[in-house]
């Protein structure tokens, strides 16, 4: 099993949120620096750099130059939107297994928030030039296109299966409870189900508290061989299995990736490669751009049947003390929004057993998901305390 030979040896998470006056490259450099220090490695040890392509114009191959890395034997910018993180780990693991690189830095950084502006004025607002088909969406007032498209997906799920806001709110409340134990989380005020219901509509059926945060910051992980990781400062987090599935677009009849996501195929493949069953997964770090993403991902991984996600989460099993701990740092809803590096970072912390107050007792196998587009791209990584 290829995945058995590599591990995450270092994690770096910068200050997150409304942090202004810094570039994405600066955050990327700090995140990598923190991750190297965490691992007990130097910048000169790095021979691979993988960059998560995103809205920032700085997350490009020349980031290598800005950061001063020389003679890298693996460099690339990877992009499957929010599904990218696990695909980067996979690329790093494959390169290390083949001897192409030894120490690979994988990084995400962005500065979508501007000082004095709200999230709706951030890089995610999606106000478009009026030209061509983009102009058509603007003429309809279809701004913040991700919010709109996830609202459309959720409405469809509600229509088909009766999913309701008490169920979605339970996800948001559970994650806030986790976030309250995470010093790195942006949102640590208590939230009740009533608070959730009272939060304003953004695009109905999405309440404000169904939606993720927008954050400035950076996260990096260092991937190396399991053998080398064993000699470094921190407990290795083994890369046990990967999966991907990109179901395609939903602009034609008979295609419903917004309701039947790539999580099904991606999850099956990752678990098979890891050599474990769904029941062996101790905790979940699920990509949560919206509460709905968590719900539909649980269904497609097979934790419950299709359409049963609402009932499945309603008892609060995802929250602290529940039977299926999920998004234990607060996720993108309540901690910070660094695309797939939000669930990945918390997965590493939990797998190491270093989550402090919020540490999940059994943490042998952590499932980390990535989701991109409007449920068009999915990736899965299985992290393990042991190599096999």
Partner 1 sequence: MKPVPVRDEESAPFFDGALRGELMLLRCPACRTFMSPTAYINTPLRPRCPACFAPEPEWAPSGGRATLYSFAIMHQLYDEAFAADIPYNLAVVETEEGVRLNSQVVGCDNELLEIGMPLEVIFDRVGDDVAIPRFRPAA
Instruction: Please give the positions annotated as active site.
Output: 287, 337
Determine which residue in the list 76, 138, 199, 265 makes contact with partner 1, applying CB under 8 A.
Answer: 138
Classify 107 as helix, strand or coil: strand
Kindly give the pairing relationship between strand 283-285 and strand 365-372. parallel
CA angle 203, 208, 209 (to 5 degrees): 135
Does 156 participate in binding partner 1 (rule CB under 8 A)? yes
Contacts of partner 1 in 170-209 (CB under 8 A): 200-206
Does 214 participate in binding partner 1 (rule CB under 8 A)? no
Nearest distance in Å: CB 148, partner 1: 5
Classify 240 as helix, strand or coil: strand
Nearest distance in Å: CB 159, partner 1: 5
Does 376 participate in binding partner 1 (rule CB under 8 A)? yes
Nearest distance in Å: CB 189, partner 1: 22
Token representation of residue 288: 């949560």
Token representation of residue 158: 């509600």
Determine which residue in the list 145, 275, 302, 320 makes contact with partner 1, applying CB under 8 A.
Answer: 145
Q: Name which of 145 and 322 has its Cβ closer to partner 1.
A: 145
Does 55 participate in binding partner 1 (rule CB under 8 A)? no
Q: Name which of 125 and 181 has its Cβ closer to partner 1.
A: 125
DSSP 347: H
Does 373 participate in binding partner 1 (rule CB under 8 A)? yes
Decide: residue 76, CB within 10 A, 0-12 exposed, 13-18 middle, 19+ buried.
middle
Return d(Cα 341, Cα 220) in angstroms, integer: 8
Return d(Cα 379, Cα 269) in angstroms, integer: 10
Q: Name which of 39 and 203 has its Cβ closer to partner 1.
A: 203
Contacts of partner 1 in 252-281 (CB under 8 A): 252-254
Contacts of partner 1 in 103-132 (CB under 8 A): 120, 125-128, 130-132
Would you tell me the crossing angle of helices 165-179 and 291-301 to the nearest 10 degrees?
Answer: 100
CA angle 297, 311, 83 (to 5 degrees): 10
Decide: residue 74, CB within 10 A, 0-12 exposed, 13-18 middle, 19+ buried.
buried
What number of other Cβ atoms are within 10 A of residue 160's Cβ? Answer: 12
Q: Are 347 and 288 in contact (CB under 8 A)?
A: no
Q: Name which of 139 and 362 has its Cβ closer to partner 1.
A: 139
Does 142 participate in binding partner 1 (rule CB under 8 A)? yes
Candidates 62-70, 108-116, 147-155, 173-181 — which segment interacts with partner 1 by CB under 8 A? 147-155
Does 133 participate in binding partner 1 (rule CB under 8 A)? yes
Q: Are 221 and 370 in contact (CB under 8 A)?
A: no
What number of other Cβ atoms are within 10 A of residue 100's Cβ? Answer: 15
Does 136 participate in binding partner 1 (rule CB under 8 A)? yes
- Which string of x and - marks every residue 317-346 that binds partner 1 (by CB under 8 A)? ------------------------------
Return d(Cα 285, Cα 115) in angstroms, integer: 30
Q: Name which of 18 and 127 has its Cβ closer to partner 1.
A: 127
Size of the site for partner 1 (CB under 8 A): 45
Candidates 144-152, 313-321, 329-337, 340-348 — which segment interacts with partner 1 by CB under 8 A? 144-152
CA 267 from centre of chain: 15
Q: Is the peptide bond before 161 cis (omega within 30 degrees of 0)?
A: no
Does 250 participate in binding partner 1 (rule CB under 8 A)? yes
Q: Name which of 71 and 140 has its Cβ closer to partner 1.
A: 140
Nearest distance in Å: CB 114, partner 1: 15
Q: How far is CA 356 from CA 49, 182, 287, in A?
A: 30, 9, 22
Q: Name which of 54 and 224 has its Cβ closer to partner 1.
A: 54
Nearest distance in Å: CB 197, partner 1: 15
Q: Name which of 115 and 251 has its Cβ closer to partner 1.
A: 251
Does 236 participate in binding partner 1 (rule CB under 8 A)? no
Return d(Cα 80, Cα 85) in angstroms, integer: 9
Does 140 participate in binding partner 1 (rule CB under 8 A)? yes
User: What are the residues binding partner 1 (CB under 8 A)?
Assistant: 120, 125-128, 130-145, 147-148, 151-153, 155-156, 159, 200-206, 248-254, 373, 376
């Amino acid at each position: 099993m290829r995945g058995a030979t590599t591990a995450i040896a270092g994690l770096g998470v910068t200050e997150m949120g409304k942090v202004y006056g810094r570039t994405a490259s600066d955050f990327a450099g700090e995140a990598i620096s923190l991750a190297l220090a965490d691992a007990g490695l130097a910048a000169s040890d790095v021979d691979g750099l993988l960059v998560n392509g995103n809205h920032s114009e700085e997350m490009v191959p020349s980031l290598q130059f800005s950061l001063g890395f020389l003679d890298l034997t693996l460099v690339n910018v990877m992009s499957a939107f929010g599904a990218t993180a696990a695909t980067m780990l996979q690329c790093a693991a494959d390169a290390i297994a083949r001897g192409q690189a030894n120490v690979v830095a994988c990084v995400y950084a962005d500065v979508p928030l501007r000082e004095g502006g709200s999230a709706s004025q951030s890089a995610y607002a999606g106000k478009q030039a009026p030209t061509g088909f983009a102009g058509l969406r603007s003429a309809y007032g279809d701004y913040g296109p991700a919010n709109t498209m996830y609202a459309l997906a959720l409405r469809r799920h509600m229509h088909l299966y009766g999913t309701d806001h008490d169920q979605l709110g339970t996800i948001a409340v559970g994650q806030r409870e986790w976030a309250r134990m995470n010093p790195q989380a942006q949102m640590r005020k208590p939230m009740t189900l009533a608070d959730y219901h009272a939060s304003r509509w953004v695009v109905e059926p999405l309440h404000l508290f169904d939606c993720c945060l927008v954050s400035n910051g950076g996260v990096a992980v260092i991937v190396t061989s399991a053998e080398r990781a064993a000699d470094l400062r921190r407990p290795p987090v083994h890369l046990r299995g990967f999966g991907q599935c990109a179901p395609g677009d939903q602009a034609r009849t008979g295609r419903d990736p917004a309701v039947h996501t790539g999580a099904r195929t991606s999850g099956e493949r990752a678990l098979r490669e890891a050599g474990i069953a769904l029941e062996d997964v101790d905790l979940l770090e699920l990509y949560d751009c919206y509460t709905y993403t968590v719900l539909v991902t649980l269904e497609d991984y097979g934790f419950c049947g299709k359409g049963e996600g609402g009932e499945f989460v309603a008892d609060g099993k995802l929250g602290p003390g529940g039977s299926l701990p999920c998004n234990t740092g607060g996720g993108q809803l309540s901690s910070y929004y660094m695309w797939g590096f939000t669930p990945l970072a918390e997965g590493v912390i939990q797998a190491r057993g270093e989550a402090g107050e919020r540490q999940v007792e059994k943490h042998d196998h952590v499932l980390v998901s990535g989701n991109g587009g409007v449920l068009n791209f999915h990736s899965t990584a299985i992290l393990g305390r042991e190599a096999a």
